[in-house]
Amino acid sequence: MISITIDNLVKKFGDNIALNGLTFRIEPGELFFLLGPSGCGKTTLLRNIAGFYIPESGRILFDADDVTRLPPHKRNTGMMFQSYALWPHMTVAQNVGFGLVERKVSKPEIERRVGEALESVRMQSYASRKIAQLSGGQQQRVALARALVIRPRCLLLDEPLSNLDAKLRLEMRTEIRRVCKEFGLTAIYVTHDQKEALSISDRMAILESGHIAQIGDPETVYRRPLTRVVADFIGETNFIAGTVVGAAPGGAVVETPIGVFEGVITESGWTPSAGEAVTLSIRPEAWKLVTSAVSKNCAPGRIGESIYLGEVAQYQFQAGDQALKIFELNPHLSQRRADVPLFATATADDVVILRR
């Protein structure tokens, strides 16, 4: 397993700066996700790491080796794409072994390594089948085996599960993590699926317009977003405008149109002053509905529209002119009538104070 260092990387397409001085390090054996809105630079970054693009400046290091200007075939990276890119006229075993044939590996060694790769993705009994005889999930397992069989220094995945249905995506993302950890692979995974990233990544980077908005483990990025962009992109949240009225341990007290809230500050080095306009971010599941008011972090209102999903109910809670989205686990809708006044409360630890 290797570390991957991105050092002040800049990539341009004409006058458009796709990557603007990115610097970070991926640890050996880490499953690292790249996320962000369309056009933020995540696929461009992956293609620079793979060698399909050459940056204008900066470096890419595999451990201490500078691979910035090496062609793709000399970097020894395994790749999985959104399209499976499998040869339909070949068998499963022939597809998996294709890269070894190109590398002029001996036939006995090819057979041995193909067998090991197929066994690792639980497809050894399908070795003689043609690709057209496989389901989408099985084809993706073959693509994973093909990436592993060359014994890559790292694994690069570009939205590999986007063509699968929801059930297969759940199954395959667990498989990809299992295989990466069993092989000790450093892996970089591009996706637009936030749940995918939250469920299997070790760390993730949120990109915005060629910059890194935040890097961290899934819980930190979700619970402690540094910017409004990150809070809005990862999961769902309620944004509430307010004005700082005082200090609090690790945070501040903010007056809003729906009440006074105490929250935490996540941006290092920033202490908003009294009178400064800020934005609160409160996740829908952080709210608790109660029948009695408390002094802080409490908004009076009534339930409007509700959606019952069995294990969770989603409410539109009207607090004055502010419509809040609230999720309640194990709900009892009979106790949540629209004509009953309620109060939505959240702990200070669940209220994140962001720059306006």
Task: Indicate whether 228 pLDDT > 90.
Answer: yes
State the average pLDDT over residues 76-102.
Answer: 88
| Residues found in the chain | 356
- SS3 per-residue string spanning 44-83: HHHHHHHCCCCCCEEEEEECCEECCCCCHHHCCEEEECCC
Whole-angstrom distance, CA of residue 244 vs CA of residue 248: 10
Per-residue pLDDT band at 183 (split at 50, 70, 90) = confident
> Is 80 exceeded by the pLDDT of residue 333?
no
Kindly list the structural domains of the chain, giving each domain's residue range(s) and its CATH number in brackets, ordered by start: 4-224 (3.40.50.300), 236-355 (2.40.50.100)
Question: Which amino acid appears at position 66 of this protein?
Answer: D
Mean pLDDT for 64-87 is: 89
d(CA 273, CA 288): 29
Q: Which residues pair with 302 in a beta bridge?
A: 318
Determine the number of helices (DSSP H) and then strands (DSSP E) in the chain: 8, 20
Hey, is 37 helix, strand or coil?
coil
pLDDT at 192: 87
Rounded Cα–Cα distance for residues 147 and 151 (Å): 8
Tell me, yes or no, if the pTM score tops 0.85. yes
What's 298-349 look like in SS3? EEEEEEEEEEECCCEEEEEEEECCEEEEEEEECCCHHHCCCCCCEEEECCHH
| 180-184, 213-217, 328-332, range with greatest mean pLDDT | 213-217
Residue 267 · residue 226 · CB < 8 Å? yes
Least confident of 189-193, 326-330, 334-338: 334-338
Six-digit token pair at 167?
Answer: 């059930």
- CA dist., res. 169 & res. 173, Å (int): 6
Place of tokens 């729906």: 258
Looking only at the bridges linking them, the beta strands covering 31-35 and 203-208 are parallel
Among the listed residues 20, 9, 33, 1, the one whose alpha carbon sits nearest the alpha carbon of residue 202: 33
